[in-house]
Structure 1
Amino acid sequence: MESKSERGPASMKTKTLMSDLKSKYADKSWNETIQLVRRCMEKTKGDGRVCEPITKCLEKINEALNVSSLAAMVSRLEMIAKQKGLGSHLSPTETVCYLTADMFYIEVVLLPGGRVEDVRAAHHGEAPVSSPSLLQLLRMKKFQEFSLKLDDLVSFYNIQGESDVKVKVYTALRHLETDLFKISHLPRSLRESDLHIDLIMNGRIGNVQPGRDGSPMTIEYYISPLDVLTGLSGTGEVSGGRVALVTVGSSDVSHRLQMQSLISSPPQVDSFGFPVFQPLTESCSELLPATFLLKLQPPLPMLNSFIEKMGKITDGVMSEKHLQVEPLPQLLLKTNKKQNSKISWTDWVQFVVPLPASEYHSYVFPGAEWGRESCKGALIHTVPFDHPGHVPALLDVLRHQAAINVLLASCFSNHNQLKDAGLQYDLRCEVLPESDHYLSVTFSLDDGNHLAVLQVTVVDSNQVSCRLLMPDFVDHKLDDFISRVLMRCMSIPITMRAIRRKVSSLTTHPLPAADPELTTAMESTSTPHSGESVPEIISAVYPSASVSHEAIEEERMASSPGYYVMSVASPVADNVNTDAVANPSPCASLGVYSHWVTSGLPAELL
């Protein structure tokens, strides 16, 4: 009772003050109110928490206002600078707003009415360069996206130490980018008919795009068939793959980083086509409290065993310490934007996956099996390293994990309300882990009296091997057919649908394992089921992909029998340099981590 009486007068006083403020400024414009709040914020000293309510209030006011004047644009830019810890000021002529940091600055050239004429970015010691992307964002008044771009600039210098240390780290990053470009342009053999897809999936450094407008270099390193179809349906261009930004980060331990390019121009290669690196000596490198980083977008759920592989590649720079581990399917559920957030990981999780022709599959993930330590992993946001030669091998591990994730996530669905609807499943499957890159799918045959097992081995991102175990039946041609189907669609439900139809036909018309007609049918089949293409099936299973009829026809005409966008073997495109065929991961000959060759890793990663 006493506390209530104490709070009562204070509450009444606050209401009175607010009423007085409202009446005092009722006739004032929003611009005048904003300027008053800003002046009050600038005069506030001491505990910064005092300004938090005012800051939030000012942000909401700015976001609600339409930026239609010079003063409003300046106010918005100053607010963004303050949020990012940057300084800001106007030129004497009040036509240029500067957003400043110790190591870079942004010039925003303004016009009357709050319009933007140009945006220029300048790193330390470099002349300002016009930034079309930043200019476009401000002209379209996409201030949130503009703010995120500033984060990229800040990340270049988010290093402990004085300005000279930050300059050296930035210099090292520029030389790293030069070497990554040299590696990406080394001649190699082609595996895919689509050159862009081949570059992403098989390029030593993936699809590399230089840093522009103050943004980091980007590497697109993996894309699934669904990503390809989704991108084609929307813009006519492939998009939606997994990307890594090449940047830097602070480190508690100093690392020797290059201060010049380590690959000669033109690059020298050994007899295996591997790049020859200059040794990291004191004359061409320095010890700095930083590492290079591959910043993964989106973050990638990874098994502990794969994280350990990356640690061996980087000689301990990449560490699994202090990572929060969870079962891999649980991590995939949390990071899947299209997945129902209400689904929780329990003793077992069941998904109902609808397919074309009103076919429904049930996929069960036993929690006890997937909860074993060997099946746990962590969500990886950044991969630290300190040598350009690490990147190809790191990307191979990332691609391998991404392929496993795509296969597991293909069994997820938001149609769980169908579980309680008395639905008769066409196929009931149980997905079990056998090792870090090997899983099995157990299902019942159409007669309901026998079980069959599909064993799936993800050798790497470009090779998936399948084996079907059925009672009293063995046919390696059927295994080869299933492997091709799975590689083409990277979807377990679509593959299980093809198996079910094939097994059904064999049950109705049994054939000897070595029957020539069956062999011919297996070798000539290029889609999971006669009359249906992979794009059509994927479109039916994933309506959100919205694959247009034109896109399907283009894919059908572009793909000859035997391969799709993720083909195992594709014809070589004309006029492409395929000399000096080399391992796509030129890492085994690097002295910086030659011990990796004998560390017991799988041969496919060497």
Structure 2
Amino acid sequence: MESKSECVPASMKTKTLMSALKSKYADKSWNETMQLVRRCMDKTKGDGRICEPITKCLEKINEALNASSLTGMVSRLEMIAKQRGLGSHLSPTETVCYLTADLFYIEVVLLPGGRVEDVRAAHRGEAPVSSPSLLQLLRMKKFQEFSLKLDDLVAFYNIQGDCDVKAKIYSALRHLETDLFKISHLPRSLRESDLHVDLIMNGRIGNVQPGRDGTPMTVEYYIRPLDVLTGLSDTGDVSGGRIALVMVGNSDASHRLQIESLISSPPQVDLLGFPVFQPLTDSCSELLPATFLLKLQPPLPMLSSFIEKVGTITDGVMSEKDLQMEPLPQLLIKHNSQISWTDGIQFVVPLPASEYHSYVFPGAEWGRESWKGALIHTVPFHHPGHVPALLDVLRHQSAINVLLESCFSDHTHHIDSGLQYDLRCEVLPESDHCLSVTFSLDESNHLAVLQVTVTDAHQMSCRLMMPDFVDHKLDDYISRVLMRCMSIPITMRAIRKKVSPLTTRAKPVPEPDLSTAMEITSAPRSCESAPEIPHEAVQEERTASSSPGYYLMSVSSPVADNANANTDAVANPSPCASLAVYSHWVTSGLPAELL
């Protein structure tokens, strides 16, 4: 027969234990009680669910205390380590607290009173290095932020395998970073007058920032013109554009990863200005159950055809398997706003001078297979020579996305709402890099079509098709406007201003003056609210007659100071790297933008 105590539920036992603890140690100080609970937790075995109330109790005690003593600071650090799955111990002198993992550890050098003298991070095989950011967080007693930093470190080393395998994968990542830096410092021609923007948009590896405090290397690979105008490009802050974190990830299949640098010092370059890589042999590489990753922030909605290009570049490391495909505009809307995608959704885009455009996206047309895509979070690869070509694909896709997002707004109406608009447009898909905008001007009963072809992030062409109206020089002007503002509504506004006065005339449109300034607005261009453009961010002088919210920007292409530019390299900043093992690219029928 079971004893009476065995019939008591576990929850009742826990309450009894807690009551006994409270009564027995009622006269003890909080510090003594906390130390006792911590020792009990360290020794507890068996069902972890029984310890859950005690764990929560200890966490509340730690949060309530100000960590104003050496014991209090050590206890707080040990609690953070336990929450993040790290080990912890004190040095024999009890002046250094170590937070340990398989591939790294953190040294917290303590002073009497719980003050922190230094925080050093050490990776396996490397000497400890002081971490100013971690030190500042602990000195300010921002324990939550410090804990999140440790969480980032743990995620960075989240690799399967034993310690030796993890160490080899981490070493491969370090050598990859070295090679990426070498590629980024190769000479090249300048395309933009803003050096920071030129580095982001045209650099072979974009704007590379080394990892700090265990955080991964970052690559800023695309920035919108609106971000440039608002001055984000001058700060060098990668948050102004789209970035990719260079990391490693687990893989079901083994891949040959480098265990040393594949680029000689100084680098030898080929006819395209790219480095010559050492072949992946047994002496400089090893088969490991991992791949390198470009972790995209924010994740990028990508067309299926572009996903196929990525797979071709990386020899099939990335595929469309298990990806949920949806129309690209639907992905962009879902990713950037709370608006739901419906058939024939219409956006109302406000422009200066109380001008309003409507943009309709017919759901049936955008449901074509060629315009379906998936939200991509990571891009796997296994060779540094893949990165320049991958960035070209990411930039190309980003350019298409930015153009579509410029037609979105938080204002949506039903098509038959009867509202009056200055311009009604229907946006239709063509090929996977071409779309059209159908519209009608107030002065004309005929429809007109603007066809936009995005060859890559640097080459876009527009063709305006109207009845009995052909002017290729106007097409060139419109193309320049689009490339400078990356906004379909602003481009349509420029077309309306140029064409409307001439629709009743029989003579052709005169050649536009490319030195004429283009009006651009800070009105929202996507589902995100765009910040107001400051005066100092505008490169051209603002005319006295401009209305509030209008700004001037030259549509003529900026000319970099070639006297100060290194012109040893060819103009193409990011062709595919020349790799003997990837020479099949030349004959594989890849699009010209990847060669």
**Common topology (TM > 0.5):** yes
Q: Which runs of structure 2 are paired with 1:274-293 in the superposition (5 Å)? A: 274-293=274-293
With normalisation by structure 2, the TM-score equals 0.87
Residues 99 and 482 (structure 1), Cα distance of their counterparts in 2 relative to 1, 3 Å cut: same
Residues 200 and 347 (structure 1), Cα distance of their counterparts in 2 relative to 1, 3 Å cut: same
2:514 is equivalent to residue 523 of structure 1: yes
Which stretch shifts more, 223-232 or 470-479? 223-232
Question: 1:512 — aligned with what?
Answer: 507
The one-letter amino acid paired with 2:453 is T
Question: 1:551 — aligned with what?
Answer: 537
Determine the C-alpha separation between the residues in 2 that align with 1:324 and 1:37: 48
2:317 is equivalent to residue 317 of structure 1: yes
Question: 1:179 — aligned with what?
Answer: 179
Query: Is the 8 Å Cα contact of residues 272 and 582 (structure 1) preserved in structure 2?
Result: no
Give 1:34 deviation, angstroms. 5.2
Give 1:292 deviation, angstroms. 1.1
The one-letter amino acid paired with 1:605 is L
Query: Is the 8 Å Cα contact of residues 233 and 547 (structure 1) preserved in structure 2?
Result: no
Determine the C-alpha separation between the residues in 1 that align with 2:498 and 2:463: 14
The one-letter amino acid paired with 1:497 is R
Q: Which runs of structure 2 are paired with 1:267-278 in the superposition (5 Å)? A: 267-278=267-278
Residues 112 and 577 (structure 1), Cα distance of their counterparts in 2 relative to 1, 3 Å cut: same
The one-letter amino acid paired with 1:595 is H
What secondary structure sits across from 1:545 in the alignment?
coil
Residues 470 and 258 (structure 1), Cα distance of their counterparts in 2 relative to 1, 3 Å cut: same
Question: 2:585 — aligned with what?
Answer: 596
Give 1:552 deviation, angstroms. 2.7
Determine the C-alpha separation between the residues in 1 that align with 2:33 and 2:414: 55
Q: Which runs of structure 2 are paired with 1:550-589 in the superposition (5 Å)? A: 550-552=536-538, 561-563=554-556, 567=557, 570-581=559-570, 583-587=572-576, 589=578
Determine the C-alpha separation between the residues in 1 that align with 2:240 and 2:403: 17
Query: Is the 8 Å Cα contact of residues 156 and 215 (structure 2) preserved in structure 1?
Result: no
Match of 2:431 among 435, 442, 465: 435
With normalisation by structure 1, the TM-score equals 0.86
Give 1:57 deviation, angstroms. 5.9
Residues 549 and 258 (structure 1), Cα distance of their counterparts in 2 relative to 1, 3 Å cut: same
Determine the C-alpha separation between the residues in 2 that align with 1:390 and 1:384: 10
The one-letter amino acid paired with 2:500 is S
Which stretch shifts more, 53-62 or 89-98? 53-62
Question: 2:215 — aligned with what?
Answer: 215
Question: 1:399 — aligned with what?
Answer: 395
Which stretch shifts more, 35-44 or 413-422? 413-422
Q: Which runs of structure 2 are paired with 1:325-336 in the superposition (5 Å)? A: 325-336=325-336
Query: Is the 8 Å Cα contact of residues 228 and 239 (structure 1) preserved in structure 2?
Result: no
Determine the C-alpha separation between the residues in 2 that align with 1:403 and 1:297: 16
Residues 259 and 539 (structure 1), Cα distance of their counterparts in 2 relative to 1, 3 Å cut: closer
Query: Is the 8 Å Cα contact of residues 201 and 221 (structure 1) preserved in structure 2?
Result: yes
Query: Is the 8 Å Cα contact of residues 356 and 540 (structure 1) preserved in structure 2?
Result: no
Query: Is the 8 Å Cα contact of residues 69 and 112 (structure 1) preserved in structure 2?
Result: yes
Question: 2:412 — aligned with what?
Answer: 416
Determine the C-alpha separation between the residues in 2 that align with 1:456 and 1:40: 69
Give 1:547 deviation, angstroms. 2.5
Question: 2:549 — aligned with what?
Answer: none
Question: 2:295 — aligned with what?
Answer: 295
Determine the C-alpha separation between the residues in 2 that align with 1:226 and 1:67: 46
Query: Is the 8 Å Cα contact of residues 478 and 522 (structure 1) preserved in structure 2?
Result: no
The one-letter amino acid paired with 2:179 is D
Determine the C-alpha separation between the residues in 2 that align with 1:355 and 1:238: 29
Determine the C-alpha separation between the residues in 2 that align with 1:303 and 1:349: 20
Deviations, residues 382-432 of structure 1 (Å, cap 9, x unaligned): 111111110100010011111111111111211337989864222222222
Give 1:178 deviation, angstroms. 1.4
Residues 19 and 143 (structure 1), Cα distance of their counterparts in 2 relative to 1, 3 Å cut: closer
Give 1:448 deviation, angstroms. 6.3
Aligned residue pairs total 580
What secondary structure sits across from 2:383 in the alignment?
coil
Residues 74 and 441 (structure 1), Cα distance of their counterparts in 2 relative to 1, 3 Å cut: farther
Question: 2:3 — aligned with what?
Answer: none
Match of 1:385 among 376, 381, 385: 381
Query: Is the 8 Å Cα contact of residues 259 and 286 (structure 1) preserved in structure 2?
Result: yes
Residues 441 and 85 (structure 1), Cα distance of their counterparts in 2 relative to 1, 3 Å cut: same
Question: 1:97 — aligned with what?
Answer: 97
C-alpha RMSD of the superposition: 3.4
Determine the C-alpha separation between the residues in 2 that align with 1:154 and 1:250: 14
Which stretch shifts more, 390-399 or 144-153? 144-153
Deviations, residues 109-150 of structure 1 (Å, cap 9, x unaligned): 233454432211111111101112222333344444433433
Query: Is the 8 Å Cα contact of residues 588 and 594 (structure 1) preserved in structure 2?
Result: no
Determine the C-alpha separation between the residues in 1 that align with 2:107 and 2:14: 44
Deviations, residues 490-523 of structure 1 (Å, cap 9, x unaligned): 1111112222222222236x3633x5xx21x343
Residues 471 and 178 (structure 1), Cα distance of their counterparts in 2 relative to 1, 3 Å cut: same
The one-letter amino acid paired with 2:373 is G
Residues 235 and 316 (structure 1), Cα distance of their counterparts in 2 relative to 1, 3 Å cut: closer
Give 1:267 deviation, angstroms. 0.9
Residues 18 and 538 (structure 1), Cα distance of their counterparts in 2 relative to 1, 3 Å cut: same
Question: 1:154 — aligned with what?
Answer: 154
Residues 580 and 53 (structure 1), Cα distance of their counterparts in 2 relative to 1, 3 Å cut: same
What secondary structure sits across from 1:572 in the alignment?
coil
Give 1:105 deviation, angstroms. 0.3
Deviations, residues 83-128 of structure 1 (Å, cap 9, x unaligned): 3221122333333221100111011223345443221111111110
Deviations, residues 513-550 of structure 1 (Å, cap 9, x unaligned): 3x5xx21x3433241xxxx3x36667999864132222
What secondary structure sits across from 1:403 in the alignment?
helix
Determine the C-alpha separation between the residues in 2 that align with 1:392 and 1:72: 50
The one-letter amino acid paired with 2:344 is W
What secondary structure sits across from 2:82 in the alignment?
helix
Match of 1:485 among 461, 481, 496: 481
What secondary structure sits across from 1:377 in the alignment?
strand
The one-letter amino acid paired with 2:594 is L
Which stretch shifts more, 165-174 or 134-143? 134-143
Match of 1:467 among 448, 451, 463: 463
Deviations, residues 439-468 of structure 1 (Å, cap 9, x unaligned): 111222214632221111111111221111
Determine the C-alpha separation between the residues in 1 that align with 2:26 and 2:477: 76
Deviations, residues 297-339 of structure 1 (Å, cap 9, x unaligned): 1111111111110100010112221222222222212322xx3
What secondary structure sits across from 1:296 in the alignment?
strand
Structure 1 gaps of 5+ residues are: 1-8
Determine the C-alpha separation between the residues in 2 that align with 1:129 and 1:393: 34
Give 1:218 deviation, angstroms. 1.3
What secondary structure sits across from 2:240 in the alignment?
coil
Match of 1:458 among 454, 464, 467: 454
Determine the C-alpha separation between the residues in 2 that align with 1:326 and 1:359: 32
Which stretch shifts more, 116-125 or 70-79? 70-79
What secondary structure sits across from 1:435 in the alignment?
coil
The one-letter amino acid paired with 2:531 is A
Question: 2:349 — aligned with what?
Answer: 353
Query: Is the 8 Å Cα contact of residues 231 and 240 (structure 1) preserved in structure 2?
Result: no
Query: Is the 8 Å Cα contact of residues 187 and 581 (structure 1) preserved in structure 2?
Result: no
Deviations, residues 326-372 of structure 1 (Å, cap 9, x unaligned): 22222212322xx3x2x112223222211111111222222222222
The one-letter amino acid paired with 2:574 is S
The one-letter amino acid paired with 2:592 is A
Determine the C-alpha separation between the residues in 2 that align with 1:117 and 1:545: 41
Give 1:173 deviation, angstroms. 1.4
Structure 2 gaps of 5+ residues are: 1-7, 544-551
